[in-house]
């Protein structure tokens, strides 16, 4: 047990952040590699509609990373491993950047950077309305996800602002649901995961804790909303 604890401390101190960063970059390198194969006229996973496959992949990646960021608190509560909080903001920022890439792939390759066409889609297509709303709400969270902004806003105001992540996740899941044609398993799985994550937060606030969770006292108020 002592050896395991020592290993986890060393891992958290030296390897946690670079390992998480590498994992967050894997989807980007994968999709870039598929395009390299496509341009080289080699077998790839993009299919007959590579542009559509690309922005669908980027959008689903953004949503999944966002759900992972919401899973950090339950993971910490269940395991007592507080160092996981060190990478929560990094995970959230990755979700934002994949969402931006998702928008750029759609806006550039599908609409050829036409602002009137984008506005028309936002107004007329329900799933794009929800998706743009989620992305717009993500912008202030991304801008304020740095220590300097936390100090400027103050911990309490920062946490209040970042409570918007729950609304963003709901909008993103709805966006994915309406974007898919027919009743597909992917959006249902994401909706179920989000329901569990939000339900866990409601349950932990309604049910009094019998004992403090290991490592809880070390959590900083500025890490993120619970």
Give the pLDDT mean for 136-164: 91
| Residue 122 CB coordination number (10 Å) | 14
Which phi and psi angles does 182 have, rounded to 5°? 80, 180
pTM of the model: 0.87
Confidence of residue 219 (pLDDT cuts 50, 70, 90): very low
User: Which 3 state secondary structure label does DSSP give 116?
Assistant: helix
**pLDDT band at 217; cut points 50, 70, 90:** very low
Q: Taking Cα atoms as reference points, which of 71, 53, 33 lies closest to residue 166?
A: 71
How far apart (Å, rounded) are the C-alpha atoms in residues 127 and 55?
14
Predicted local confidence at residue 111, as pLDDT: 87
Each residue of 40-57: pLDDT tens digit?
999 999 999 999 999 999
**Among 89, 113, 219, residue whose Cα is nearest residue 162:** 89
**Tokens describing residue 158:** 């920062």
Instruction: Check pLDDT > 90 for residue 198.
Output: yes
């Amino acid at each position: 047990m002592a050896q395991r604890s020592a290993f986890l401390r060393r891992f958290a101190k030296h390897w946690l952040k670079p390992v998480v960063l590498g994992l967050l970059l894997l989807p980007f390198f994968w999709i870039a590699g598929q395009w390299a194969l496509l341009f080289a006229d080699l077998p790839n996973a993009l299919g007959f509609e590579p542009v559509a496959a690309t922005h669908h992949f980027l959008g689903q990646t953004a949503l999944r990373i966002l759900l992972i960021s919401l899973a950090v608190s339950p993971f910490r509560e269940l395991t007592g491993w507080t160092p996981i909080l060190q990478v929560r903001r990094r995970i959230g920022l990755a979700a934002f950047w994949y969402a931006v890439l998702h928008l750029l792939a759609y806006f550039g390759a599908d609409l050829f950077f036409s602002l009137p066409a984008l506005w028309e889609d936002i107004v007329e297509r329900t799933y794009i309305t929800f998706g743009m709303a989620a992305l717009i709400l993500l912008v202030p969270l991304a801008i304020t996800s740095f220590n300097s902004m936390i100090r400027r806003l103050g911990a309490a105001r920062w946490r209040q602002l970042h409570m918007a992540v729950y609304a963003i996740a709901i909008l993103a899941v709805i966006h994915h649901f309406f974007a898919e044609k027919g009743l597909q398993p992917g959006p249902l799985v994401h909706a179920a995961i989000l329901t569990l994550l939000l339900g866990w937060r409601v349950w932990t606030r309604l049910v009094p804790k019998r004992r403090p969770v290991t490592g809880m006292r070390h959590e900083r108020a500025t890490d993120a909303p619970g």
